[in-house]
Amino acid sequence: MADFLGMMKQAAQLQSKMQAMQEELGNVEVEGISGGGLVAVRMTAKMEVKGVQIDPSLMKPEEREVLEDLLVTAHADARRKAESAMQEKMQALTGGLGLPPGLFGLG
């Protein structure tokens, strides 16, 4: 029974650390870039877009489709970087326990 209570205490501590990490992820920002730097998307590790930068050379009506494609690509790049940052935080927190993605509402 003592082992069970110890496990429950460890689970509660882990959940508390996970909540703190969720808050911290909101402060971690990454930048996705496309078009050789013509478009950049900034987002948090919680996948919240914080900003978009567009080179003025793309602000022409005939460049609209190129700009749309570059925005999608920059967003995807930022999302990959945000997911990577989240995974690094998770591994640091869990010590490589191999917990499944989605545990405690993450992933």
Taking the model in full, what pTM does it have? 0.67
Would residue 6 count as lying in a domain?
no
Cα 88 → chain centroid: 10
Would residue 45 count as lying in a domain?
yes
Positive or negative, the CA dihedral 75, 76, 80, 86 is positive
Beta strands in 37-86 (DSSP E): 39-44, 49-54
Task: Name the domain count of the chain.
Answer: 1
CATH number at residue 86: 3.30.1310.10
Give pLDDT tens digits along the chain (107 positions).
Answer: 668 787 888 878 878 877 888 788 888 899 999 999 999 999 998 889 999 999 999 999 998 999 999 999 999 999 999 999 888 888 877 775 555 555 555 44
Eight-class DSSP state of 100? P
